[in-house]
Every structure is written in C-alpha cells, then in structure tokens.
C-alpha cells in the first residue's frame, strides 16, 4: 500500500463502507430546569448559566455535595475539573466556607494555575478569595509545608544536574560501566514514590547492592549540600505529616480537600491526602480510571477503583456526558479505550455537535508527516480558520517530535514545546556524534572537543584542562592530539586517541548517515553499551531509538557539511524562539507529549505517530519497558505486557479526547527506516482486527516484510528490503474521492525471474490485498488447527486461496 500524506476520514486499512464511530448524543436536563428559582442556592446556578455553564444533574449533585467523602468518576471531558472548581466556588459563595480552608490538589503547575483562574471567574467569588484558595500540586503543597517548618534545603530539580551528580557517584564507586545514571535515578524515584527510603532498597544480588551503593551515595551528596529533589520533598513532607503537631493544625485549617486527576496519584501522595482529611473526612476526589497514564511513576489505578471501599460512606457520582469533543471525536476515543479489560465500564454521551469526522493520513515516514502537517496547519491559519494557539501537536515519546520540531522551526511557525530539553542534535546522547562531525570539518572548534572525551574514557574536566594547557604551549591542528602525550592515560588509550583523530579526519568526506553508522560501529555503541547491564538496561531502548532517529535525520543530507550547518542553524533559531516559551498566552502552536496534555483541551489536535511501534510503543509489545517507564518499581520486576498495552491504549484515548472540534491523526508508514503499520488502536476502533503480523513476536517482520512464509504483501513502505510486491491503494474514501482501489502493481523489475506462491486474496473486488500463505504448517495454521482463511487486513472482507507471481529473490 502506498503511503499517502493526504487526510481521509478513515484510517488506511478500514473499508470506506465502515461507519465512523460516533458517540450517542446526550439529551440533557440542565440547571436551567433542574434548579428552580425557588431553590435557596438558585442564584449561584443562575450566575453560572450567565457564564454559559449549564450543569447537568450529576454535576449539580457534585457541586452541592456538602460534607463527607465523595468520588466523582467520569470520562474525559465530562467536567471533572469544572465541577471541582464550581464546588469550591459554591462552598465559598453559598456555604460561607472561608477560601483559605479549601485545598485543591492537582497534577501539574499548569493545571493548578488554570484551576485558580477558573475559580476567579466563578460567580460570587471575590478576587481576594480566589487568591486565598490553595490550588496546588502535591509537590508545591509539600514544599510549602517543609518551608513552613523551617526546612531550608535548596530544591535540586534540574534533571541534567541530577544526572551529572549520579554520574559522578558512579565514577567514584568504579561503577560507571555498570549502570546508566538515568536508569538509577528513575528507579530511585519510583522506589521513593512508594514512601520508602533508599536505605530500604533491596541488596540480594550483587547488581542490586551495587546500584544501592550508588543511590545511597547520591542521597548523601544531596544531604551534605543541603539539597532535595522532588521525591525528597514528597517523602520528607509525608514523614513530617506523621507528627501530630504538624498534622493537626493542617487538618483544622483545610476543612475541605479536593483532588483532581486522582487516578494518577501514587502511594505517597494518597497517604498524604488521607492523613490531611482524616479528621473531617471532607475529601472529594475526581478522576477517570481510563486516563491512568503514570503507572511507571507509581500511580495506582486501584486507588480510584477502590476509593468507595476505603471510604465506605463515600458518595459516588458518575459523569458521563462529554462537553469537550464533538460526537465523532468522542466516538473514536470511546471505541479505542473500550478494548481495555481493566476498567470500570462506561459509555460516554456527547453534549456537542456531531461535528467533523477525525481525519487520518499515512505519510511515508516522520519527515513527510511533519512537512505535511505543517503545510496543513499553515493553511488553516492563513485561511483564518484557526489561530496558532488553537492547535496542539501531540506525540508519544520525546524523540518522536524531532521531525515536527525541525519543520516548525525551519518554516517559522511560532510554537511552544512543553517540557522540551535541547534541540535533538544537542541532546547528551547525540551531541558527541555531532561534535565528531563538527570536528571533522573544523578540528579546532574547541567547544566541540569536550563531548568527544567521554567516548575515549577520558575525564571531561581533567582532559580539557590538559588540552588547554598544552594548547597554550603549542597550538595544534587537532588539539585532541595533546592527549596522546598525557601521562595520566594508559598506552592503549593514547593509541586510541590517534586512531580517533584518524577517524575524525575521514568523516568529512563520508555521507553523513554513513559517518554516523561508522562511528557507532567503531566506538560509540560499545561506549554506550559499557554503561549498561542486566536489569537496569531499560534505558537502552531509548538510546537505540534516538540513534536510529539520528541516522534517519542524517539521510536527508548529502554532505557532513550540510548536515552540520543544518543542526547549527536549528540550535540558533531555537535559541531565538526561546522567548515564546515563557509567554503562556502567546499565539503559538503547542507541541507536547501526550502525557503532558493530560487535562488540557484544544480546538484542533494533531496526534502524530499513530503507528505500531510508536503508539503502542514497541517496548510495550515485547519484554522491555518504554523510555518513560524504565524506572520499573523494582529492578527485577517482570514487565506485564498486557498491562503495558492497556496503558498505551489509555494514552491513545487521552490523545484523542484532547480535541474539541478537529482531530488529525497521522500514522507514518515507516519508523527509523522500518515499516510500521497503522496503530492497532485505530483499526480496532473501526472493528478491524489488527493483522496477526503486528503481534509482538513478529514485530520486526510486520506488514510488507515477508520473512518466512507468511508476510503481508501490502503496506510496503520506503526501504523495505525484501518487499518487491505491493498492493497499491491509490486513492481512498475521502471528501470528493471515490474509494477507488487500483490493481496491484509490481514494484520490482519485470525482467526478474519470478515464482508462483500460494497466497490469500481478498474477496472484495475493490480491494486487491493479498498475503502469502503459510503452507509449511506455521503458526497461524497451528493456532487454528486448520488452514482457516484470514480476514483481509485492509478491508476486513474474507480472504480466499489463490496464487501469485512474485520475484524469485
């Protein structure tokens, strides 16, 4: 199947006759009729109506809820946050609860700020009262508490600095080659989120005790310098809360506590809330078990699923009318998440219009995806349909934004990237390779030298000091050469320096992608691997992904010079755009991971990377953990693939349900040069069973990579080495286009020798899909016990036996 960047109303692989999912439309009684003027509190609801908030029946119940525990369960966009804020306003305006007695806890500082803003806009809430409400994140609440009790330790929150310190500890303990600092920090963080201190870490096997030594050294380093990281803040605050002298005044002060995004609280956070609310028990929690997306950080879905068991007298209010998304967008989201097994069953209704169907595209890869999306959104803005700020681009992993980031910068689109670190080429892992390339063009580019020292196993600081001192005596064309005369290095290291310079010299004339492969082959992969062992290797997957991303990026350039100057220009432009980042309100596109988009909404959402291996992330399909769940609660914990896949599905649900009116989903047909199928989550949502080939064990050969006897002949994308036959879909159902499926074409040379092979053919005349049959008694046959005809992976029609002529290669 040829990739096609144009948008259509169904994902590729779904027959045009398949109806689009659509949520049922809600018929809603609102406060207008439900709260007559004769009600004592009608003024409050009338004022809300004036502000265009017409609460429905369960929302009114939640807002009016007085004392005692309350669980508000709801799907995405059903007004959880709205109700939380409205109840805070109600308590103040109608029940004379002082603003300072209300504590609202939420997940991100952005959400906390937004909450304050919403409360300030509520009827009867004076600006001073809105300011007095404590709307905080768990961390900011805990920090304020620590400060109040005289803890002066400096917050040590910068990730890069934490890495540097952990690296230093590993070096001092002679463990640099055994562990990645990132992995240890994440594991430590997950451990502490459970309320345990580093002293309690296991040390049964050697690897564990080594890891523990490094973690304890890291903890001691902070303590000696009076610093605390985010986990320390929570941990220390929770310890402080065990002291009745600390707890009781807080319990007296905060007589009403409400927690948003409750599904993502971890054990420590939950414990804090329970203690604070223990006296008055006026605890309201709101959440959606379908949006638990932080289990890798210790979030426990059970807390929400079992709240009414812990608080037996809890009132449970369910909100199932979505006010955010048009019915077709909501229908897609609901269909996606409905496939999860571990969830409270619910089916949302849409308050809004039917709206436009979500649009899908299958660009050939991330580059085409990015180029097409930027062209598309520029069109939307130029036509006056949208402002930049109405648009969000959501991606699964940090490295998944490289292409779109570059396109946005190079085409001068204003954008804010949340949680963004450096430009891709300046990231810790990538920078050394780029600096080698830079040095190949200009060996005296001094700022590029430090990052090349690590891969020579030379200390950055001491090495640079030596080089600079020697340079003063005698400047060299290759300043790195000074290391070959440094008596602190061993003979083989000095020899390595010379070899490295020879390699650097040769890089400038290579194709950039080849130069990267060469560096990886000669030294870089070995260098990275030396820092990884056994159970702590989850980080490896991320590294692999980023390095493949770099090769993909480099393939676009013919010369190292062009590649390097592109990366340099990007860094420069990025610096210029930094100022936008600081202005929350600026008219700029929002670019962020799906995790960061939780709780937010946008008129128009582009969800990029909706392909197998990206979302669901490849690591959820086999035994390794995705980059952001590499922490793993215990170092030796096995990964539950089903649970991982369910969390990926929840992420897809979160992505879809951020959109109000427009939703565009792109599934690049290749990822890191390998074919990638449309995300199973999309196909499933349209009732198409994802092809067996996309199951974990055959991941590498899925779709159009016929290895062995049963590969799919369709969905061939650029660079698929063994696929010479493609079923091509030249046009699909879409506005103004008939769903014309053309005949299959032979992409290889017609003079090649050909063989006839048994295949399954689609019975739908309009669909020419075929796939090779397993005549050797392979898995499908074995599993089915018979050679059962499969369902067409493209259009879901039955398939029938046939033969096909293919090149003999």
The least CB distance from residue 410 to ligand ATP, in Å, is 32
DSSP three-state, residue 258:
strand
**CA separation for the pair 432, 698 (Å, rounded):** 34
Q: Which range in 268-276, 588-596, 597-605, 713-721 contacts Mg ion by CB under 5 A?
A: 597-605
Q: H or E segment at 671?
A: strand 670-671
315 labelled ligand-binding: no
User: Could you tell me which residues are beta bridge partners of residue 393?
Assistant: 591, 606
The least CB distance from residue 707 to ligand ATP, in Å, is 42
**CA separation for the pair 248, 418 (Å, rounded):** 38
Q: H or E segment at 378?
A: helix 366-382
By CB under 6 A, tell whether 76 contacts ligand ATP: yes
54 binds, among ligand ATP, Mg ion, none (CB under 5 to 8 A by kind): ligand ATP
| 263 touches 302 (CB < 8 A) | no
Q: Name the residue nearer to ligand ATP (CB basis): 630 or 649.
A: 649
| 72 touches 102 (CB < 8 A) | no
76 binds, among ligand ATP, Mg ion, none (CB under 5 to 8 A by kind): ligand ATP
The least CB distance from residue 281 to ligand ATP, in Å, is 24
Q: Name the residue nearer to ligand ATP (CB basis): 389 or 498.
A: 389
Phi, psi values for residue 757, rounded to 5°: -125, 150
Q: Which range in 52-60, 405-413, 454-462, 666-674 contacts ligand ATP by CB under 6 A?
A: 52-60
18 labelled ligand-binding: no
628 binds, among ligand ATP, Mg ion, none (CB under 5 to 8 A by kind): none
Q: For strands 349-350 and 602-607, give the pairing.
A: unpaired
The least CB distance from residue 189 to ligand ATP, in Å, is 24
Q: Token match 């949208």: residue?
A: 386
| 449 touches 481 (CB < 8 A) | no
> DSSP character for 523?
I
Q: Which range in 78-86, 397-405, 643-651, 729-737 contacts ligand ATP by CB under 6 A?
A: 78-86
**Pick from 405, 408, 438: nearest CA to 423:** 405
What x-and-dash track marks residues 561-600 binding ligand ATP by CB under 6 A? --------------------------------------x-
Q: Name the residue nearer to ligand ATP (CB basis): 354 or 601.
A: 601
Q: Name the residue nearer to ligand ATP (CB basis): 81 or 714.
A: 81
Phi, psi values for residue 338, rounded to 5°: -60, -20
80 labelled ligand-binding: yes
638 labelled ligand-binding: no
Q: Which range in 53-61, 517-525, 672-680, 694-702 contacts ligand ATP by CB under 6 A?
A: 53-61
Q: Residue 31 to residues 54, 75, 83, 174, 255: CA-CA distances in angstroms?
A: 6, 21, 13, 67, 27
Burial of 26 (0-12, 13-18, 19+ CB in 10 A): middle
Sheet strand arrangement including 359-362: 4-8, 359-362, 659-666, 602-607, 391-395, 589-593, 415-417
Interface with ligand ATP (CB under 6 A), residue from 10, 54, 343, 574: 54
| 690 touches 616 (CB < 8 A) | no
The least CB distance from residue 347 to ligand ATP, in Å, is 15
Q: Residue 640 to residues 12, 294, 631: CA-CA distances in angstroms?
A: 30, 15, 14
User: Could you tell me which residues are beta bridge partners of residue 350?
Assistant: 25, 322
Q: H or E segment at 654?
A: helix 641-656
Interface with ligand ATP (CB under 6 A), residue from 81, 303, 451, 552: 81
By CB under 5 A, tell whether 675 contacts Mg ion: no
Q: Name the residue nearer to Mg ion (CB basis): 58 or 691.
A: 58
By CB under 5 A, tell whether 287 contacts Mg ion: no
> How far is it between the farthest Cα atoms of the chain?
92
452 binds, among ligand ATP, Mg ion, none (CB under 5 to 8 A by kind): none
Interface with ligand ATP (CB under 6 A), residue from 56, 108, 255, 723: 56
User: How close are the terminal C-alpha atoms of the chain, in Å?
Assistant: 20
What x-and-dash track marks residues 2-41 binding ligand ATP by CB under 6 A? ----------------------------------------
The Cα angle at residue 608 between residues 604 and 613, in degrees rounded to 5: 150
Q: At a CB cut-off of 8 Å and minimum separation 6, what does 185 contact?
A: 162, 163, 166, 218
| 41 touches 755 (CB < 8 A) | no
Q: Which range in 76-84, 330-338, 677-685, 690-698 contacts ligand ATP by CB under 6 A?
A: 76-84
289 binds, among ligand ATP, Mg ion, none (CB under 5 to 8 A by kind): none
What x-and-dash track marks residues 258-297 binding ligand ATP by CB under 6 A? ------------------------------x--x------
**CA separation for the pair 204, 534 (Å, rounded):** 15
**Pick from 529, 612, 477: nearest CA to 176:** 529
The least CB distance from residue 395 to Mg ion, in Å, is 21
77 binds, among ligand ATP, Mg ion, none (CB under 5 to 8 A by kind): ligand ATP
What residues numbered 69-88 form the site for Mg ion, per CB under 5 A?
80-81
By CB under 6 A, tell whether 53 contacts ligand ATP: yes
74 labelled ligand-binding: yes
187 labelled ligand-binding: no
Omega of the bond leading into 520 within 30 degrees of 0 (cis): no
Burial of 753 (0-12, 13-18, 19+ CB in 10 A): exposed
DSSP three-state, residue 807:
strand
| 439 touches 433 (CB < 8 A) | no
Interface with ligand ATP (CB under 6 A), residue from 4, 15, 22, 59: 59
Interface with Mg ion (CB under 5 A), residue from 69, 89, 181, 599: 599
* Helices assigned H by DSSP within 296-365: 301-305, 307-310, 327-337
The sign of the torsion formed by the CA atoms of 319, 322, 328, 333 equals: negative
Phi, psi values for residue 415, rounded to 5°: -150, 155
By CB under 6 A, tell whether 80 contacts ligand ATP: yes
What residues numbered 413-472 form the site for ligand ATP, per CB under 6 A?
none
CB atoms near residue 365 (< 10 Å)? 24
What x-and-dash track marks residues 358-397 binding Mg ion by CB under 5 A? ----------------------------------------
Residue whose beta carbon is closest to Mg ion:
81
* Tokens read off for 46: 């009338």
**CA separation for the pair 274, 267 (Å, rounded):** 10
374 binds, among Mg ion, ligand ATP, none (CB under 5 to 8 A by kind): none
By CB under 6 A, tell whether 661 contacts ligand ATP: no
Q: Name the residue nearer to ligand ATP (CB basis): 489 or 604.
A: 604
Interface with ligand ATP: number of residues (CB under 6 A): 19
Q: Name the residue nearer to ligand ATP (CB basis): 107 or 478.
A: 107
Q: Which range in 72-80, 434-442, 767-775, 781-789 contacts ligand ATP by CB under 6 A?
A: 72-80
Question: Which parts of this chain interact with Mg ion (CB under 5 A)?
Answer: 80-81, 599
Question: Which parts of this chain interact with ligand ATP (CB under 6 A)?
Answer: 53-56, 59, 74, 76-82, 288, 291, 323-324, 599, 601
Instruction: Please give the annotated binding residues, written as ranges.
Output: 74-81
Instruction: Please give the annotated binding residues for ATP, written as ranges.
Output: 74-81
């Amino acid at each position: 199947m040829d990739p096609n960047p144009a948008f259509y109303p169904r994902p590729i692989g779904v027959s045009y006759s398949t109806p689009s999912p659509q949520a049922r439309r809600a018929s809603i009684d609102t406060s207008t009729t439900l709260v007559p003027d004769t009600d004592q509190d009608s003024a409050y609801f009338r004022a809300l109506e004036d502000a265009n908030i017409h609460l429905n029946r369960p929302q009114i119940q939640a807002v009016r809820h007085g004392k005692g525990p309350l669980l508000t369960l709801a799907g995405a966009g059903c007004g959880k946050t709205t109700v939380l804020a409205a109840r805070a306003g109600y308590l103040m305006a109608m029940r004379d609860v002082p603003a300072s007695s209300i504590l609202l806890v939420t997940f991100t500082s952005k959400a906390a700020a937004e909450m304050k803003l919403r409360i300030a806009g509520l009827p009867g809430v004076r600006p001073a009262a809105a300011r007095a409400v404590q709307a905080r994140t768990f961390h900011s609440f805990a920090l304020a508490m620590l400060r109040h009790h005289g803890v002066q330790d400096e917050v040590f929150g910068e990730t890069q600095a934490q890495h540097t310190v952990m690296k230093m500890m590993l070096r001092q303990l002679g463990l640099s080659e055994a562990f990645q600092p990132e992995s240890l920090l994440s594991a430590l963080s997950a451990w502490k989120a459970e309320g345990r201190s580093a002293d309690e870490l296991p040390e049964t096997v050697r690897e564990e005790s080594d890891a523990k030594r490094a973690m304890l050294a890291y903890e001691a380093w902070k303590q000696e310098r009076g610093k605390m990281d985010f986990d320390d803040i929570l941990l220390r605050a929770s310890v402080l809360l065990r002291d009745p002298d600390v707890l009781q005044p807080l319990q007296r002060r905060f007589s009403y506590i409400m927690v948003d995004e409750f599904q993502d609280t971890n054990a420590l956070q939950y414990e804090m809330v329970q203690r604070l609310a223990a006296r008055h028990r006026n605890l309201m929690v709101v959440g959606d078990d379908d949006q638990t997306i932080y289990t890798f950080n210790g979030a426990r879905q059970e807390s929400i699923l079992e709240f009414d068991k812990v608080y037996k007298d809890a009132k449970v209010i369910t909100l199932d009318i979505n006010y955010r998304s048009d019915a077709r967008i909501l229908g897609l989201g609901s269909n996606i998440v409905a496939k999860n097994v571990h969830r409270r069953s619910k089916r949302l209704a849409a308050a809004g219009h039917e709206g436009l169907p979500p649009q899908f595209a299958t660009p050939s890869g991330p580059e085409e995806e990015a180029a097409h999306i930027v062209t598309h959104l520029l069109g939307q803005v130029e036509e006056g349909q949208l402002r930049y700020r109405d648009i969000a681009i959501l991606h699964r992993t940090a490295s998944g934004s490289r292409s779109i980031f570059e396109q946005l910068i190079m085409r001068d689109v204003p954008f804010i990237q949340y949680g963004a670190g450096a430009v891709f080429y300046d990231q810790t892992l990538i920078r050394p390779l780029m600096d080698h390339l830079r040095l190949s063009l200009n060996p005296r580019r001094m700022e590029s030298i430090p990052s090349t020292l690590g891969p020579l196993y030379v200390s950055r600081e001491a090495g640079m000091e030596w080089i600079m001192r020697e340079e003063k005596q005698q400047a060299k064309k290759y300043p790195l050469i000074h290391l070959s005369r440094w008596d602190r290095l061993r003979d083989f290291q000095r020899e390595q320096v010379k070899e490295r310079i020879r390699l650097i010299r040769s890089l400038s004339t290579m194709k950039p992608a080849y130069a990267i492969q060469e560096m990886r082959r000669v030294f870089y992969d070995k260098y990275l691997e030396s820092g990884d062992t056994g159970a702590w290797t989850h980080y490896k997957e991320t590294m692999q992904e980023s390095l493949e991303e770099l090769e993909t990026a480099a393939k676009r350039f013919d010369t190292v010079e062009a590649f390097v100057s592109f990366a340099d220009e990007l860094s420069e432009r990025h610096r210029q755009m930094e100022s936008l980042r600081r202005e929350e309100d600026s008219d700029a596109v929002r670019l962020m991971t799906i995790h960061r988009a939780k709780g937010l909404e946008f008129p128009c959402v582009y969800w990029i990377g909706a392909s197998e291996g990206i979302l669901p992330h490849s690591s959820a399909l086999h035994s390794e953990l995705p980059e952001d769940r590499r922490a793993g609660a215990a170092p030796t914990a096995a990964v539950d693939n089903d649970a991982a896949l369910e969390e990926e599905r929840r992420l897809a649900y979160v992505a879809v349900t951020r959109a109000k009116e427009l939703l565009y989903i792109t599934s690049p047909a290749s990822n890191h040069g390998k074919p990638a199928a449309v995300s199973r989550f999309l196909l499933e949502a349209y009732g198409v069973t994802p092809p067996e080939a996309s199951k974990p064990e055959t991941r590498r050969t899925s779709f159009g990579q016929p290895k062995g006897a049963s590969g799919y002949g369709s969905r061939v994308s650029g660079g698929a080495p063994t696929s010479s036959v493609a079923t091509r879909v030249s046009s699909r159902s879409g506005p103004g286009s008939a769903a014309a499926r053309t005949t299959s074409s032979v992409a290889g040379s017609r003079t090649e020798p050909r063989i006839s092979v048994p295949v399954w053919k689609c019975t739908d005349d309009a669909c020419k899909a075929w796939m090779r049959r397993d005549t050797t008694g392979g898995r499908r046959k074995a599993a089915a016990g018979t050679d059962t005809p499969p369902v067409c992976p493209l259009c879901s029609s039955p398939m029938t036996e046939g033969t096909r002529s293919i090149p003999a290669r």
